[in-house]
Amino acid sequence: MKVLPNLFTLANAAAGCLALYFILDIDFETATYCVLICCVFDFLDGFLARVIGATSEFGKQLDSLADVISFGVVPGAVATVMLGILDVDFPRLFIGFIITLASAYRLANYNTNNQNKFHFSGLPTPANALFWIGLTHIQTEITFNLIVSAVIVTSFLLNSSFTFYRLQLKYSLLYFVKLSLMIVMMIVLWLQFGHLAWSITITLYALFSIVFSHVAKSRG
The per-residue pLDDT for 172 is 63
The per-residue pLDDT for 26 is 96
Q: Is 3 helix (H, G, I), strand (E, B) or coil?
A: coil
Q: Directed axis angle between helix 144-158 and helix 125-135, to 10°?
A: 170
Report, in angstroms and rounded to the nearest whole number, the Rg of the chain calculated over CA atoms. Answer: 17
> Number of structural domains, the chain?
1
Most confident of 50-64, 65-79, 153-167: 65-79
Q: Rounded to an integer, what distance in angstroms lies between the CA atom of residue 146 and that of residue 143? A: 5
Q: Rounded to an integer, what distance in angstroms lies between the CA atom of residue 132 and that of residue 129? A: 5
Per-residue pLDDT of 195-215, as tens digits, reads 999 999 999 999 999 988 877
Q: Rounded to an integer, what distance in angstroms lies between the CA atom of residue 160 and that of residue 137? A: 27
- State the CATH number of the domain containing residue 164: 1.20.120
Contacts of 140 (CB under 8 A, 6+ apart): none
Task: Please give the model's pTM, rounded to 2 decimal places.
Answer: 0.92
Per-residue pLDDT of 69-103, as tens digits, reads 999 999 999 999 999 999 998 889 899 999 999 99
Please work out, in degrees rounded to the nearest 5, the angle formed at the alpha carbon of residue 189 by the alpha carbons of 139 and 127. 85
pLDDT average, residue stretch 115-123: 79
Share of the chain above pLDDT 90, in %: 61
Range of the domain at 204: 4-219
